Structure 1
């Protein structure tokens, strides 16, 4: 059986019955109907020659790296070889090599029973399959991180804290593997195919403990590795990558006291450096959300939620500079329900518009922070065909 695959303007005939592990069988690819019976290397003007299975595999990877990520799941139905290819990270690595990686946003808003995936301009969307968990998981707080082409969602089920991951290529949810020390309310961030998790609350039956524990998750091996613990115990903190290091900022300690310090992790030395008073000038509100932070072009930005102000961090002075007002009503909810993210060289803020406080619909604003005068622009064509509540429960950006 042969199937026709169109990549761009080039029709490719794939022999789905062929086995790439056998040297005696050939894969046939042609440019037109008249050339469909010639070997694949006719594409480089050779009439008859042998093609090694490894070369064919590399060609498959390079071809499918150009297919939109949202279409990957369909490849699993071609044959076992393509299904195995999807489960590996070869396509993702090739997309990185070819410069084809694009940002996608995953959102879960109040009242929704499943996540929605958007392109960076919010002009197209994809509803993710429903996650087969219990009501305890859906109604409780959840922590979300993306790493590689996986969306990691961690929350509390009846039996304890559980890790779910959504595999973009296969378009399905898979449970596990569990963290070494299961917990919630941690700070996290990803870099390539690794994600780092630090601090949080460990819940064991009737015990409740704020920890300084840190772990690393590898998306390729789907394994957790313990790394050196932080200097401070902290919960409800924020994590981010800046200039090659993983940072954890703010939060509360084991006595529910707000922390103004941060810590940076050096993976080479497996050590943490304490950064005192990084949030010393920021107002503290009772029961406020974790710091809303984002990184653009190696600069750290913060949404100060009590006044809806945008600030940028001066690393040398260990101080924040005010850049202007952000057009959302973050002060109404102490920062909860507002998403503040970076996408490429832009900042995004998602939530309830301060210009339309009575509206229940989600609004998205963008700006380029590295200009003299920051101007926030509303995405007018945002979310056509889908209506989401303005209160954002979870949001993360995936580069895939």
Structure 2
């Protein structure tokens, strides 16, 4: 855990899993309230670990109601949403779902909410202007989805947003989920195929190009790059364009109104 200027850090205790497969499988993380949620896979299936900051300790569970991976997620205060993903059926076959669950950090519990319009995997999620948004991903036929969806918690309903990613370039079927982050109620995306930063106009459903980022996302199809927000800054963690330096943290204070920078 780093401070906001990345000058000091605190090392967490090790995750208390004793399984080899957990440490060598893909894991997905999200912060909610003062907890860090880590979801991975053990021998018996998908497992949830949570780190509680006030106790400086890891705990196992509680498990998701419908355990799955490769979902879109986002947190807002002490609540986090998990949408879509890949779930195993009773015969052990992977299926793409439209299922959505809400996690409450205070109660340490999961709640099912209404499902999305589209089943999707490898999608991304964010909170934007009071709503939970889900972007992109691939459907049950492994086809890239250009639509998005927004969830209104007051009505427990989803609104489909056609063509939200219509002008994005998909360079490979195995491309990473969309790299998105929100700063000051503006949604930004790191377009992996072009190494470019974009900002979303919620009124026109158009992504404006802002300029090139200093990491090479196109060579790895977006995998291995982290794109996050912290306060009023965007953070990019990845390899430099030269490829000689890895794990570099870049930050900027974005402005949605600037012209494209080269």
Relative to its length, the structure with more helix (as a share) is 1
Q: TM-score, normalised by structure 2?
A: 0.95
Alignment of 1:358-397 (within 5 A): 358-359=244-245, 361-370=246-255, 372=258
Say if 2:33 is the partner of 1:148.
yes
- C-alpha contact 1:155 1:162 (8 A) present in aligned 2: yes
| Structure with higher RCO (Cα < 8 A, 6+ apart) | 1
- C-alpha contact 2:211 2:261 (8 A) present in aligned 1: no
Say if 2:11 is the partner of 1:127.
yes
1: CA distance between counterparts of 2:21 and 2:28?
14
Relative to its length, the structure with more strand (as a share) is 2
Q: Residue 196 of structure 2 corresponds to which residue in structure 1?
A: 309
2: CA distance between counterparts of 1:256 and 1:231?
17
- C-alpha contact 1:367 1:375 (8 A) present in aligned 2: no
Runs of 4+ in 1 over 6 A off after TM superposition: 373-376
Q: Residue 199 of structure 1 corresponds to which residue in structure 2?
A: 84
Say if 2:101 is the partner of 1:215.
yes
RMSD after superposition: 1.5
Closer, same or farther: CA 151–374 of 1 in aligned 2, 3 Å: farther
Say if 2:70 is the partner of 1:185.
yes
Q: Could you tell me how far 1:350 is from its partner in structure 2? A: 0.8
Q: TM-score, normalised by structure 1?
A: 0.63
**Deviation string for 1:211-257 (max 9, x for gaps)?**
00001000001011110000000000000000000011000001101
**Deviation string for 1:81-113 (max 9, x for gaps)?**
xxxxxxxxxxxxxxxxxxxxxxxxxxxxxxxxx
- C-alpha contact 1:131 1:173 (8 A) present in aligned 2: yes
2: CA distance between counterparts of 1:298 and 1:229?
25
2: CA distance between counterparts of 1:311 and 1:372?
11
Q: Could you tell me how far 1:374 is from its partner in structure 2? A: 8.2
- C-alpha contact 1:368 1:374 (8 A) present in aligned 2: no
Gaps of 5+ in 1: 1-116, 377-400
Q: Residue 339 of structure 1 corresponds to which residue in structure 2?
A: 226
- C-alpha contact 2:201 2:207 (8 A) present in aligned 1: yes
Alignment of 1:26-37 (within 5 A): none
Closer, same or farther: CA 375–155 of 1 in aligned 2, 3 Å: same
Q: Across the two proteins, how many residue pairs are aligned to each other?
A: 258
Q: Could you tell me how far 1:373 is from its partner in structure 2? A: 6.7
Q: Residue 392 of structure 1 corresponds to which residue in structure 2?
A: none
